[in-house]
Amino acid sequence: MSPPSDEGDRDLEPREVGRRQRQSVSELASRFADTEPQGKRDRSESGDPAPAGKRGAIDRDGDLGSSPVHFNRRWKEYLDNALDELQQRIVSSISRDIHEFNESIHSKLSAMDERIRDLERHVEERDDEIVSLTAELRQTKEEVKKLSERAESAEMNSRIPCLILSGRALAPRQARLGAPLQSAGESAPQGGSAGAGPSDRPPTASGPGAAAPERARGGRDTAEVEDICGLVIRAVKDRLPGLDIREEDIDRAHRLPGPNHRVIVRFVQSGQNSVRDQLMTRRLELRHHNDLFINESLTAQKNTIYRSLLDAKRAKKLYTVFTRWGHVYFKAEKFGTSTRVEDTGKLRELGFAIKE
């Protein structure tokens, strides 16, 4: 689009045209009358027709003169058209870019949407698998818990007839050495050494609770025998007079490893009024002797609970801790109610530290 110009100034630059159009104030004022209506412009102030020299709107050829007003109007039209064209180009370019951007975004969003749907399908499959595995794990835990409870109950029942006796009263006595083993064809002498006391003489094979001498390890020709049942019976009768305990009441007995001369005794009967029950009832009478202690044989879990509660008792948090038929109880106050603790989870709920 080319800029406008007067017919006489077509070959001149716009700046040159503008320079040539600079006129005096009087000339501009006279030319300003060219923009007024025809009827008013051709008349004087008195209403008479104006002289021909004052009608500067029309030149010799009858065309409009090159007044600044018409010149500026043409430039304004030119600039408006240029701005419109530039605006259309900008809008077209922006529209094209926006369209391309929208197409790119749309394609990318479509790909992302497809990917998200694929991921959602995989996640749903994994969620279903997790739910199934969670249900199986919960069921397995319940089964394991039931099996653990059954095993714990079975072990408790097997340990109910057993009591653990400990203390200096069960310290080992002078052991008797058995007779040397004879070679083939020789008979072993009857009886033992003359200096053996009645408490150290092993029972005969025909007597109740008889125990045959065992051969020592390593192939030695001597055997060492200890009458554990007789030791337990004497220790109990000396400290609990009136309690009728015989070897027929004891199924078996043997020492346990560790300090304090512990002996585990399994009784033939364990019900009410049995020797085992009488020992547990009268064990408090042994306090003033301080050399014989009687406790129930507990499972590993109950033993952990018992020792943990004993620590709490030593810390003055509990009044007493005791066991009954394999279960562990405690009292927080002297005249309070007894609370039974079945597992370590209950121990944690009560706020007691677990002593492994």
pLDDT reading at 177 higher than 90: no
pLDDT reading at 209 higher than 90: no
Each residue's pLDDT tens digit, 64-76: 455 566 678 888 8
Provide the β-strand partners of residue 163. 265, 296
How many residues are listed for the chain in this entry?
356
CA distances from 94 to 79, 87, 98, 193, 277 (A): 22, 10, 6, 123, 101
User: Which of 137-151, 194-208, 288-302, 325-339 shows the lowest mean pLDDT across its residues?
Assistant: 194-208
Q: What is residue 254's predicted lDDT score, i.e. its pLDDT?
A: 94
Q: What is residue 27's predicted lDDT score, i.e. its pLDDT?
A: 58
pLDDT band with cut points at 50, 70 and 90 for residue 292: very high
DSSP 58: B
Task: Give the angle 92-94-98 at the CA atoms, nearest 5°.
Answer: 115
Each residue's pLDDT tens digit, 85-115: 888 999 999 999 999 999 999 999 999 999 9
The two three-digit tokens of residue 31, written as one number: 């030319």
Inter-axis angle of helices 25-32 and 68-159, nearest 10: 80
CATH 3.30.70 holds for 160-173+222-297: yes
Q: What is residue 197's predicted lDDT score, i.e. its pLDDT?
A: 35
pLDDT reading at 23 higher than 60: no
Q: Which residue's entry shows tokens 């009044």?
A: 319
Rounded to whole angstroms, how far apart are CA atoms 317 and 322?
A: 15
